[in-house]
Amino acid sequence: VLGKVALVTGGGKGLGRATALLLAAEGAKIAISDIDGKAGEAVVAEIRKAGGEALFLQQDITDEDRWIEVIAAVKKAYGALNIVVNNAGIAFPGTAEDTPFESWKKMISVNLDGVFLGTKHAIIGMKDGVGSIVNISSIEGIIADPALAAYNAAKGGVRIFSKSAALHCAKSGYKIRVNSVHPGYILTPLLEEYLDMFQDGKERRKAIENLHPIGHMGDPDDIAYGVLYLASDESKFVTGSELVIDGGYTAQ
């Protein structure tokens, strides 16, 4: 990815931060977008301190007009756009019976609509060049959890939508690949916040660790290296695929 330009949404923390730092370390110019300006600016400062190039753009990924502005700003700053990582997302529990409709719509808006908009405008912004779009789904986009109804729906949507987008790009003759990444449980601020919602958070954490045959949860870097592969020319024959990084969770 040396010399390439990458946009990472939700780049202020967790998987997005790890991905942005790794892509920068490998020589990419990084645009970080996040709804949290303080977190995003901190990662930009981290990249610059290490000698990399980075900029921050405030973004609500559910706002289509802002998507158009963000991609234009990246291309203006760096002269190109080669990689888009649609990582920003939210998570909260709820079953098919007890999830409020407003909560359902919020989950779909951020986790699915945001990825749709990011993919759509990445294609428009990159179709005259060569590009890679990496959409962060989840193992919850492949298998179901009774307590994650809306999250399952959104992440499952990301999985199959990414394949549709990949086929569209291929059949249109665009040199744009689209793939999805499916992490198992990764120790991120988002997961920590989820566990903190429960009184038995420590017990739940141990139970989650035990769900993975490998014996532990993953680190953000485990996912970042998968994104790096899909973003790089080494994966030039990979499109419409789903990269599962889950410590054996879904192999059971």
Annotation says 185 is catalytic: no
Residue 232 sits at the vertex; the CA angle it makes with 249 and 35, to the nearest 5 degrees, is 70
Taking phi over 0 as left and psi of -120 to 50 as alpha, with beta for the rest, 247 belongs to: left
Distance in angstroms (rounded) separating the CA atoms of residues 107 and 90: 7
How many CB atoms lie under 10 A from the CB of residue 111? Answer: 27
Q: Give Cβ neighbours of residue 128 (< 8 Å, ≥ 6 apart).
A: none
b or e along 180-214 (b: 16 or more beta carbons within 10 Å of the residue's beta carbon)? Answer: bbbbbbbbbebbeebbeeeeeeeeebeebeeebee
Neighbouring C-beta atoms of residue 108, cutoff 10 Å? 17
For residue 141, what are the CA distances in angstroms to 36, 199, 228, 237? 26, 27, 21, 23
Task: Find the catalytic residue in 78, 151, 194, 249.
Answer: 151
Distance CA 101, CA 41 (A): 34
CA 207, CA 82: separation in Å to the nearest integer? 40
Active site residues: 151
